[in-house]
Structures are given as structure tokens and as C-alpha cells.
Amino acid sequence: MRVAVLSGGRSSEHDVSLAGGEGVAAGLDAAGHEVVPVTLERDGTWRSGGEELALAAGRGLLGADVAFPVLHGPFGEDGTVQGLLELLDIPYVGSGVLASAICLDKVVAKDLMAQAGIAQVDYAGIRAARWESERETVLEELAALGLPVFVKPARLGSSVGIAKVAAGEDLGAALDDAFAHDPWVIVEAMSAGAEVECSVLGSARDARASEPGEIVIAADWYDYAAKYEPGGMQLRVPAQVSDGARARLRAMAVEAFERFGCSGLARADFFVEGEHVLLNELNTMPGFTPTSVYAKLWAADGLPYAQLVERLCELALERYAEERSYRY
């Protein structure tokens, strides 16, 4: 296959995306495929081989058979690039427009999880306009979540802009900081359970979950430094949870993947409190270096990195063929 690997992007996760793109390109090359690197610059321009690209609807992308958008956060993982790839008429790895948009928006995803009866922590979503006009009322309402809580921009990843708040007097400042990143913010109650992650691979009709892994950190919580600095995090595989909890979280991961209409891949993040399993979120394009959790969990299941990225391209081609068989 000739694969256009997209990385970079306009979000604050630009550098993380570049590292993931390099990993995917190396994996595809090792599997015998031709890689065409495409860099999405911070200003929004697309470049390949040092040249700015001109894109035309229905004309594909650089003659590639499939696109692999290793992009995180807004303008990459939120359905925007997925919509552009649809207009270019090229198969692409990962979820489509709607599933990408839903899963990146933590509040919308949690609202849908609540509607489906999927267990999760308590939470509240706040718009910037309401925070500006009703600060005291918002703080009073958030008191129902207890302390500590986590304050997060609703549509970012990689722990960017997140704060753990243990004292009520610090909540306002944490909200101000989160609103500097996103006009839509989520506040989540804390779970004392183990942080466990599970990788999902496949289609909405036939998805399977990996062996779960437990996140072990020395820090107070799983922040940006713990995720990306050397030695900040250890992945324990298999996770030290009961057989019942393991089976339940794997089933929940696949259920959420299928319910949201995801495709290709996702990483499901959980809290496990004894036998009680809480789904925190679904990431449709998780970190994708060979040492990232998503790939490491599949490697532990016997699927090495090069075969994983190849399989994701095959799934993209299969989904493209199926979707083009319908007459909308």
C-alpha cells in the first residue's frame, strides 16, 4: 500500500502527534509499505516533501491508497480532518466524522454514556458564557461533586490544561485556566480506583479488546509529565484486577466502541474500584508511538507494531468499500 501518514496539526498536541507519525511511518515501512509523510503545520497548512499541498475534492491525497491521520485534539481528532478526507474520497484509518467528534467532546460522550447506562464518575459540563455570568452559582452546583475533582478542557487530550483540585478555594482558578484552552469545560469527581486501559481494534460490527493494562505512576495523578517524561509511567500487563472486573471492562470497551460507531481503533480508559468498573473515556486516536499504551497492549497480546499499523490500514480499506456500497 501507498500510505499518506498525517501528523502535526494545529492543537497543543502537535509535538505528540509528530512523534506518533514517525512511529507509524517506521512501522509501515517495516511491513513493506510505501509511506508518504504529510505534515500539518501549526498554522493549518499541509506540506509534503517541503511543498505546500493543494487539495481538490474527489481527487484523493498524493496518490495514496489510504491515509493514516495520526492527529490528536481539535483540528485533527474531532471529525474536521475526517470530514476533509471524506471529501477528498480517500480511505482513512480510524473513526468517521461523528464518532470522532463525539469521543473528543468529553461532555457529549459522557452524556451518551449516561443515557446508555454505562457506569462512570459523576461530572458536570460548563460553558464559558455561564461561568463568566454565574460564577458563584456554578461553584455552588459543583460542590455536589465533592473533592477532589478534576477540571479539564472538554476537547483536549494528553492531560493538557487539566488540574486536580483538592480545596474548594482553588476551583475557580482551575476553571479559569481550563477556559483558556476551551470554552467548554468538564469537572469530574475523583475515583480512587486503579487506572486501567484497554485497546480496541476492529470495526463497529467486529471489534475485539486487548488484555487490559494498569497505569502505575509515582506522581499524584496521571498528568502530562507522567505520560510523556521518561520513567513517569509504568504499564503493568496484565492489570492487577479480578477476572470478573477484567471481563467486564473488556466488554464495556467493545460496547462503547460499537455504540459510538467507532472504527479501526480506540483506547478505553477505566477506573476499577474492586469489582466496580467505571468507563472514563474513549480515545479514537490515542498516542501512537511503538511505546504508547495502545500499541504496547496489542504487543502483549501477540500483535507487533508493524502488523498493527498494517491491519489498521486494511480496516480502513474495508470500511471505505462498505460505505461506498450504499446509495445515500
Instruction: Please list the active-site residues.
Output: 13, 158, 228, 267, 269, 281, 283, 287
Q: Which helix (H) or strand (E) element contains residue 58?
A: none
* In the block, residue with C-alpha cell 467493545: 254
CB 149 within 8 A of CB 188: yes
DSSP type of residue 301? T
**Alpha-carbon distance 8 to 201, whole Å?**
23
Question: If 0-12 CB within 10 Å is exposed, 13-18 middle and 19+ buried, where does residue 51 land?
Answer: exposed
Cell of residue 243, nine digits? 477476572
Cell of residue 304, nine digits? 507487533
* Cα 13 → chain centroid: 11
Sign (positive/negative) of CA torsion 289, 294, 295, 299?
Answer: positive
